[in-house]
Structure 1
Amino acid sequence: MSDDSFFAPPPFKPDAALVQLKRSLRELRPLVERGEGFELQGLPVLQLSALGDHVHIRIAKRPARSPEWETRQLKNAAEVRSFIDEVKRRLAQWSEE
């Protein structure tokens, strides 16, 4: 007997995910959107772009004029939600420093 009750998740659309991700990040008040990225107190901390089948992310290890970047690829909605949670944690950490 086959399992006909399984539904595949909707296909991931990087362009739409990027728009939603930017909207969610704008709600995190200390961040300010600048072009394709976000700044914290005038220092670059995030760069975002949609590439092919994923969203390409560069996030600073800590705010600086020339930050050391970590790169990520978000390939589904769950990874996008997890990334937003990580940004919230980093903002809290950066505000304590």
Structure 2
Amino acid sequence: MDDLFAPPPFKPAEALVQLKRSLRDLRLLAERGDGFELNGLRVVEFGVDESAITVRLARRAARTPDWDRLVLKSGADVRKCVDDVKRRLARWTEEDR
């Protein structure tokens, strides 16, 4: 009875497809291999295993960026990651002006 309200199990491979789709919908990022670029600069990279998605997210759009590492283990983590990318994307495009 306790598991009646439990969220469905996290499936990293399926969540990665959803995550990539959400980032493609932002229109400013170009998908390249296992990540995304902004104006030719690598800003997001993905890794996946059987229990989680590992995301490397650039602090600033640069040729050799400093990376933040995120581990996504739930749908809520994936949504937070998309929101974080949106915030950073707004900041990166503002810096370019």
Q: When the two structures are superposed, what TM-score results if normalisation uses the length of structure 2?
A: 0.92
Structure 1 residues 64 and 4, CA, compared in 2 at 3 Å: closer, same or farther? Answer: closer
Residue number in structure 2 paired with 1:79: 77
* Unaligned 5+ runs, structure 2: none
Q: Percent identity?
A: 57
CA contact (8 A) 1:18 1:49 kept: no
Correspondence 1:30-41 to 2 at 5 A: 30-41=28-39
Q: Deviations over 1:26-75 (max 9, x none)?
A: 01111000000000000000001212200000000101111111111000
**How far apart are 1:14 and its partner, in Å?**
0.3
Correspondence 1:19-34 to 2 at 5 A: 19-34=17-32
Q: Establish whether residue 88 from structure 1 lines up as the match of residue 91 from structure 2.
A: no
* Unaligned 5+ runs, structure 1: none
SS of residue matched to 1:30: coil
Dislocated runs of 4+, deviation >4 Å: 3-6
**How far apart are 1:5 and its partner, in Å?**
8.7
Larger radius of gyration: 1
Correspondent of 2:7 among 6, 9, 18: 9
Q: When the two structures are superposed, what TM-score results if normalisation uses the length of structure 1?
A: 0.92
Correspondence 1:58-77 to 2 at 5 A: 58-77=56-75
Superposition RMSD on alpha carbons, in Å? Answer: 1.4
2: distance between equivalents of 1:4 and 1:86?
A: 33
Give the AA of the match of 2:50: G
Structure 1 residues 4 and 24, CA, compared in 2 at 3 Å: closer, same or farther? Answer: same
